[in-house]
Chain A
């Protein structure tokens, strides 16, 4: 029953009680990403401040528990962090998701996002976990242009 290990308590908590959900003003960039196989969707806004500070990450979307919880965890990790630090987390998260479950997650870098380690064993669900994170990366690039 490997799926049980995918549906970590922390993921279910974020799915049932998403943090920072809802689109807010002001923002520097807004992006919309979809996962055509599942119909998962996310709209994400990023507001950057002085010194590369991430002031707000707001989002709205629909989809499975993995995709929605991933957006909520991302909001928590990125808001209040810096562009450089948060993109470092995105990179580590992406590496973990694409590892097919073959690498150890670096909890120091990932924080709560380490709960998604089990998803990496389900290739069909990796796209769900990455949806919000790829949208964030895209939004940050557009914000800094």
Chain B
């Protein structure tokens, strides 16, 4: 095994699922963390403990449990704010997932409830995304364009799987109101350069959002250092629970934005014919929030901080190098995404000549217990760009080992034998 400076054996003990057996006595080899990460005992226990001993609704219950629950929920906001370097804890909005965070921002544009000119959107205005986006960062903007008559435009992707910035100045212009791109691709593994895009966005006076669903789990993300306006990620990919996501936005923008969902807790005062709204983040957290999930997410980001994101990055870098080397020796295998390790995360998608990814995934799972994802990974336009219907994707996290990649490679050799 390659030493990556991370005590992987110890880490694996925190994730009980990794030592379970699958039916038929297969070991579990989980290479699908890009889809959703497994959860450490610390997260599971904290959620259990909160539900068992401290649970009550937050913000509105005037009793001891209500106070404890509210404190735990708001503590989670502090932890998340610290984890992503948010200058102000009130800039952290809890949502259901990354998709909701992206939709929340899309709904702020062209919305008659809002008055800020930066969010005004109509015919002649433009929204810019890219061809490597997850459907969650495509469809909300398509819907926004449909609602408002604005035009949707996009960056293309180079053959090697990088964002094509060659037409940056023609694409992002005075007509652009918002640029929303993925920070790290969930298919290619590519980490996109933020600075040059942001510089152009500032030049033309637009706003910029990052879909950080795949970067926050795998690298040290510091929103202040990045300098963008909005950033979304999702709890279940950062070893936290499902059912919670995060929108970070600059405080001044949250203040200018109209609310998204209406309901309890997002108001200041309500009359029969109108309402005034609570300040952010509560303005965007209508109804009973994912309380237990927030507690779990807080513990999850603390867990990662304790291990150190730089150690996680180094570990995944080693795994990726190892994988690209090993896959390079399988005949007929083509990696879709960068082959060089610079600005690249631990997500490796590929095709095997003459063999459909569904067949690859089925045999890997059933014969070897290797869990990968097959299909278009919610990025159909990207697959169309490469002229393929689907890929097989292995994605790594802090608990994966080179031995598991060896199992993947053995499995792929077997797949080739079955279809030879």
Asked if B418 lies at the interface with its beta carbon under 8 angstroms from chain A, I say yes
Which residue of the partner chain A has the closest CB to B24? Answer: A1
Interface residues on A, range: 20 to 34
Report A63-75 CB contacts with B as 1/0, cut-off 8 Å: 1111000000000
Whether B365 sits at the interface, judged by CB under 8 Å, is yes
- Select one of B358, B365, B367, B389 contacting A4, CB under 8 A: B367
**Which listed residue, B357, B358, B363, B376, touches A128 by the CB 8 Å rule?**
B358
Of B24, B356, B362, B419, the residue contacting A63 (CB under 8 A) is B356
Q: Which A residues are in CB contact (< 8 Å) with B356?
A: 38, 63-65
Query: How distant is the Cα of A128 from the Cα of B374 in the complex, in angstroms?
Result: 15
Q: A38-B390, A39-B390, A128-B358 are in contact. Are A3 and B376 (CB under 8 A)?
A: no
- Selected from A2, A6, A39, A63, the residue in CB contact (under 8 A) with B376 is A39
A37 interface hit (Cβ, 8 Å): yes
In the bound complex, do residue B366 and residue A64 qualify as a contact, i.e. CB atoms below 8 Å apart?
no
Instruction: Select A6's contact among B24, B355, B362, B389, beta carbons within 8 Å.
Output: B362
Task: Tell me which residues across on chain A come within 8 A of B357, comparing CB atoms.
Answer: 64
| B359 contacts the other chain (CB 8 A) | yes
A12 contacts B by Cβ under 8 Å: yes
Any chain B CB within 8 A of the CB of A32? no
> Quick check: B366 and A65 within 8 Å, CB to CB?
no
Q: Which residues of chain B from 337 to 366 have any CB-CB distance to chain A below 8 Å in the complex?
A: 355-359, 362-363, 365-366
A7/B358 in contact, CB under 8 A: no
Q: Is the CB of A65 within 8 A of B390?
A: no
Given A3-B367, A12-B419: A64 in contact with B376 (beta carbons within 8 A): no
* Contact A1 B366, beta carbon cutoff 8 Å: yes
Report how far A130 CA is from B375 CA in the complex, Å: 19
Minimum C-beta distance from A8 to chain B (A): 11
Q: Which residues of A contact B389 (CB under 8 A)?
A: 38-39, 62-63
Are A122 and B390 within 8 A (Cβ)? no
| Minimum distance in angstroms from B329 CB to a CB of chain A | 24
A38 contacts B358, C-beta separation under 8 Å:
yes
- A137 on interface, CB distance cutoff 8 Å: no
Tell me the residues in window 1-51 of chain A with beta carbons closer than 8 Å to chain B beta carbons: 1-4, 6-7, 12, 15-16, 37-39
The interface residues of chain B lying within 8 Å CB-to-CB of A128 are 358
Contacts from A to B (Cβ < 8 Å): 1-4, 6-7, 12, 15-16, 37-39, 62-66, 122, 125, 128
Query: Can you pick out 26 interface pairs between chain A and chain B where the beta carbons lie within 8 Å of each other?
Result: A2-B24, A2-B366, A3-B362, A3-B366, A3-B367, A4-B366, A4-B367, A7-B418, A12-B419, A15-B419, A38-B356, A38-B375, A38-B389, A38-B390, A39-B375, A39-B389, A62-B389, A63-B389, A64-B356, A64-B357, A64-B359, A65-B355, A65-B419, A66-B358, A122-B362, A128-B358
